[in-house]
Structure formats: C-alpha cells, structure tokens
Structure 1
C-alpha cells in the first residue's frame, strides 16, 4: 500500500495539530509538513510536492481560495481538500469550480475526515494502476470520475451557535482527555460559563462530546465534558 504525503495549511497551530493527528490515524497517510501562512505554504509545497493538501480558507495574509488556484496552476498532480469553517455558498461554489477533492466543514468529525482519505486513496490507487498500454472502457472511466460527485453534508447550526466559537471550544476539548467544566472552557475561550455550557451541550447532542458527572471539593455535582472521538 502506498503512503500518501499530506501537507496541512492552517493558521491555528492547535487545529493543524488536530488535523495532523487525524491524518496519521488513517493507514497509508503521513504528514510531510505544516504551514501557518502563505509564504510558508508556497515555499514548502514547491519543495515537498505532497500528494494532498489540507487547506483552510481564512488566513490573516491570504484567502485559501487564492492558494488553491495557485496550486492548481503550478502543480497538476496535487489534490486539495478544504477543511474550513466557511459555509458561504459562493465559497463552496468557487472551491468546487477550482477542482477540490472534497470540502469538510469545521468542527471536523473524524469519521467524515477518514472517509474522505479512504476515498482519496481508492481514487489515486486506481489511477496509478492504469498502464500506458491498457485500453480503458466506460466502466473504468465512470469509476475514476465517481470522486467528482462530492456529497456536501448540510450544515445547519441552531440559533446562538457560531461555527468559529464552536471550532475553538472543540479544539480545546480535544487537548485534555480528562475533560473540562463549562467554567474552564469559558475562561479558556473568553465566553461566559452559560455560553460555554450551551456549546458543550450542543456538542453532546451531536455526539461529538460526552458529559460525566463528578463531585467537587464541596460535594457539589458538576458536569465534566470530554471529547468523544
């Protein structure tokens, strides 16, 4: 089985490390580098020539769509998966028009991420197995082009849940297996305890987090929230 090299472009190092961990949990994939800005991304992609780029949209010094277009113009063989909090229709439209392999909305669910990498492996392996003297037929063509039929999951958040804040809370939640209270998360993200609890309960309802009951020093029960992989 081939090992596909993945390059991550993400300005938040915590999210980049989470994506790296996700990639390396899937057999046949390894991370060859991480870039936090446009200059690093262009320089390292030019040198490393990865098989796949995991790319965000929002950066202080660029728009990820511009980097996507640069990759498309300079390196024909590099595939791109957008992993972003951007949910605007036009952003998705432009990304699709520029030939992304997939578009995943943050906060990322590992199984959704894994499914995309598995599909990527199947697609690239099928192309690699084609020999120059092999005659193709419609079945082979249809199999190769099937990956273009991207199924975009609907992304509807309830009122009062912001995707950027949700991503921040989820990323912090993933950093400690022992979990956090709503007050802990509120202090770390700069929101009130009530607001943090609202986001945490939403994550629990979506089965992206779990809540355990424990007792503090005064014997008062409190909920400890943990990431549910």
Structure 2
C-alpha cells in the first residue's frame, strides 16, 4: 500500500480529498494535518510515500514544505492540490519536483488520473532495479505512449492466455522465465514466449534482461499487479 499524508487547512476540502482517496485502490491514508509543522513532525516519525499538499497554508506554505523535503533528502513525493493557478507557483512546484498539480476545484476523474498514474510509476520503480532506455522512456519519462491493443493478436487464444496469466499471477512478486511457465502449463516455450510478449507489451508484466558472460540474454518477468484490470477484458 502507498502511504499518504494529506496537508490541508480547510476541513471541508481535507474531507473531500480523504473521500476521493478512499475510492482509489492501493493507497492508505496515514494522517490529515493542517500545517507544515505538523507535517514535518509526522514525516520525522513515519514513512510517507505521497503527500497531497495545498500551497495556501497558514505559516510556511506548501512550496516551503516541498523545498524542505528536497533539502533534507526525505523520499516523500508530492501532488499539489491547490487553488494557486498562477504560472510562477506552478513552475516553482514543478521545479521542486512535484509529480502532479491539481487546481481547485477539480473533478474526481482528474484526481483518479493523478493517483492512478502515480501508483503505476510507484509500483514499477519498486519492482525494478535496472532499466532499459525503452522502459525508462515509457514508464518514467512517459515518452512515445503506445496505443494499447483492443483485441488479442492473431494466433493467441483466450483460453491459453488465461492459463498463462493465472500462472504468472501465482508467482506473486517472484521473477520467472519462459521456461518456468512452459514447464508449469505444459505448453511449448515458443508459444509461451508469444503470450509473455503480449502481456509485457500491455505492461501487465515487468521485463528484466540479464546478460551473462556467454550466450543470449536471459529474460525474466514479474507480475504487475497495477495492470491487472487491463488484461481482464481479454479473458
């Protein structure tokens, strides 16, 4: 679960943010505070992955808090939720490393989009230690977004996909190879490789490439829980 801190001095807005957060899977609200000092005290005691942060807070403002987080090396990420819509503050927030910026008032769809994108990146970075340029561009830098398939590629069947997908899920967070899946499901490695490529193209599997001293590189896969819903429509 992604641990979240809400920093908002308006109780009504804080409650809305809390209710919105409850509707997005994968997040756990740790606390709601109304000032930078309260936030800093909590950050010293607990691990926080993501802060939903207002700029207009009495005393030190949200930009001050983000700067302190960066200067002190805290690892919490920040999504601003604020009425501040002037370019100067927006640029400052982005330069300090805010991962997203929502201008009040906003709809739940925009909130859900911001949190879902963060969750996907968070889970990807948690499970990867080394990236290829392709993975960096697509998953982190968000370059060259691809059009996802709407139907199974020719030669793949729904039944076999379900067997391989369920087998991949059963591996949990453990990496696995084409050979391991082929051995478990009793299908040829050539066929399994086609299904694993489709699943990795859909980002439903993480791919890790290991280069040995001789021979071909070894591909290993990991189940990507954040993309589970994307595959359901093919099953």
Answer yes or no: same fold by TM over 0.5.
Answer: yes
Q: Which of 141, 147, 150 is the equivalent residue of 1:146?
A: 141
For normalisation by structure 1, the TM-score amounts to 0.60
Match of 1:41 in 2: 39
How far has the Cα of 1:52 moved from its partner?
Answer: 0.1
**Residues 80-159 of structure 1 mapped to structure 2, 5 A cutoff:** 80-131=78-129, 134=130, 136-146=131-141
User: Structure 1: any 5+ residue segments left out of the alignment?
Assistant: 150-229
1:1-229 to structure 2, matched below 5 A, reads 3-131=1-129, 134=130, 136-146=131-141
Which residue does 1:227 correspond to in 2?
A: none
Q: Compute the displacement of 1:148 (Å).
A: 9.3
Quote the offset at 1:137 in angstroms.
1.6
Shift, 1:147, TM fit: 5.2
Q: Compared with structure 1, are the counterparts of its residues 45 and 147 closer, same or farther at alpha carbon in structure 2 (3 Å cutoff)?
A: farther
CA displacement, residues 21-78 of structure 1 (integer Å, 9 cap, x when unaligned): 1111101112100111122111012212211000001112122100011112224421
Matches of 2:46 and 2:106 in 1, distance apart? 26
- Choose 1 or 2 for highest CA Rg: 2
The gaps in structure 2 that reach 5 residues or longer are 145-235
- CA 1:58 to 1:147, structure 2 compared with 1: closer, same or farther past 3 Å? farther
How many pairs does the alignment contain? Answer: 144
Return the offset for 1:5: 0.8
Match of 1:23, SS state, is helix
In structure 2, how many angstroms separate the alpha carbons of the residues matched to 1:70 and 1:18? Answer: 26
Are 2:7 and 2:33, in contact at CA under 8 Å, matched by a contact in 1?
Answer: yes
For the residue of structure 1 that corresponds to 2:25, the secondary structure is coil
Q: Distance in 2 between matches of 1:63 and 1:70?
A: 11
SS in structure 2 opposite 1:22? helix
